[in-house]
Amino acid sequence: MSGGVDSSAAAVLLQKQGYEVIGLFMRSGATEEPQVCKTSLSHDLPIVQPKAHKQGCCSASDAADARRVADSLDIPFHALNFQDAFTRIKDYFADEYLAGRTPNPCVMCNNWLKFGKLWEFAQSVGADHIASGHYARIERIQRSEVGSQEDSPTSVPALTRGLDRSKDQSYVLFGIRKEILDRVIFPVGGFTKPEIRELARQTGLRVADKPDSQEICFIPDNDYVGFLERYRGHHDTAGELVDTQGNVLGRHEGYQQYTIGQRKRLGITFGSPRYVVAVQPTTRRVVIGKREDLMEPTLEANRLNWLIDEVPDRFTCQAQIRSQHQCAEAEVQLLDEDRVRVYFTEPQFGVAPGQAVVFYEGDRVMGGGWIV
């Protein structure tokens, strides 16, 4: 329970379905709030002076909202201290940016915390399932994979897209371990966002109209560069801005300020749109190019997680390369047990190392991995 409308409505729906519900809130440790803001002339992003406050996930007020919802539903509520685990996620986030990759901390939070450490806690208190407010579904489908044993169950749990495609979050859930799928419940996955807000209003929850969180929980001011400077200290990451031919166009103050596909705040003006094509941490160069330079026909991925029983050596699917990406037709070839190459039917814009690629068969998540 994060204190938002989705997880609060999930608790309501579970209770209506007859479950005995226990509310859990993840405390991330001391967080930072913007205290004094000014504008940096170098990258036009806010610079903040951090002010520590009580432990919280997104904020202390979120913890209070979650507790009030639990009280109104008369369910037990636990605030778990996950400061060490959140430090691991912050380390991952900083390491990826400083390595020139684009991290996805939401996927890691789901893998390590919500369906990792929270599931461990659930088992310790005798719970049979773990639920969240994600817009996704767990459906049982007929087993059809080749090689199934005769005594195998006739149906298996499958992770599928949420009914509200505009809010679907199955992409960030691909890393759930297959063996716990039948222990996972996504109560809001069969509803639209307006329906969930209306349910919260009818239940009298004060969070019914609470805005959705748009930022990473440990960077509430959305200033990634400022977070990296505060968290890791000053690194000399300044270098050259170059074109795709290696010609020097100018200089930048730190390659961690740039991500693949970025168009704004390039530090130099052009007569037509230009984008970040590559970030090279070893040379500290940021490569600038045209849109066509970002169209990729293939990608390679590793650290795979499969949610199907049998993985063919080669198969067709729809592949999604970021949370807001429209799935693209693709063919996947297994290179070894933990590495694949993806061939797109049509080249895709902005393939970013460090992001996830997730494979779908219709609405079902087959699995995914990390783009290298």
Tokens 């429209």 found at: 326
Distance, CA of 151 to CA of 284 (rounded, Å): 57
Which pair of structure tokens corresponds to residue 65? 């909202």
Q: Is residue 227 part of a domain?
A: no
Q: Is residue 243 part of a domain?
A: yes
* 300 and 284 housed in the same domain: no
Contact 274, 288 (CB under 8 A): yes
Q: What is the pLDDT of residues 314-372, one digit of tens each?
A: 999 999 999 989 999 999 999 999 999 999 999 999 999 999 999 999 999 999 999 99
Q: Which of 267, 289, 311 is the last residue of a domain?
A: 289
Distance, CA of 258 to CA of 11 (rounded, Å): 39
Q: State the pLDDT confidence band at 108, using cuts at 50, 70 and 90.
A: very high
User: Which is it for strands 275-280 and 285-289: parallel, antiparallel or unpaired?
Assistant: antiparallel
Q: Is residue 142 part of a domain?
A: yes
Give me the number of domains the chain comprises: 3
* 26 and 161 housed in the same domain: yes
Q: State the pLDDT confidence band at 144, using cuts at 50, 70 and 90.
A: low
CATH for 83: 3.40.50.620
Residues with Cβ < 8 Å from 297, sequence gap 6 or more?
A: 343, 344, 347, 348
Distance, CA of 154 to CA of 157 (rounded, Å): 11
Q: State the pLDDT confidence band at 39, using cuts at 50, 70 and 90.
A: very low
Owning domain of residue 351: 295-371
Catalytic residue numbers read 109, 217
* 128 and 265 housed in the same domain: no
Contact 204, 72 (CB under 8 A): yes
pTM of the model: 0.87
pLDDT of residue 14: 98
Helix (H) or strand (E) holding 155: strand 155-161
Q: Which of 263, 289, 315 is the last residue of a domain?
A: 289
Above 90 in pLDDT, residue 67? Answer: yes
CATH for 285: 2.30.30.280
Q: Is residue 224 part of a domain?
A: no
* 50 and 199 housed in the same domain: yes
Q: What percent of the chain has pLDDT over 70?
A: 89
CATH for 343: 2.40.30.10
- The residue ranking higher by pLDDT, 146 or 189, is 189
Q: State the pLDDT confidence band at 291, using cuts at 50, 70 and 90.
A: very high
Contact 47, 40 (CB under 8 A): yes
Above 60 in pLDDT, residue 171? Answer: yes
* 189 and 245 housed in the same domain: no
- Least Cα distance to 160 among 152, 168, 151 occurs for 168
Distance, CA of 149 to CA of 306 (rounded, Å): 19
Residues with Cβ < 8 Å from 114, sequence gap 6 or more?
A: 26, 130, 132
Q: Is residue 306 part of a domain?
A: yes
Above 90 in pLDDT, residue 51? Answer: no
For residue 267, the Cα-to-chain-centroid distance in whole angstroms is 28
Distance, CA of 29 to CA of 42 (rounded, Å): 31
Contact 217, 262 (CB under 8 A): no
Q: How many CB atoms lie within 10 A of CB 248?
A: 10
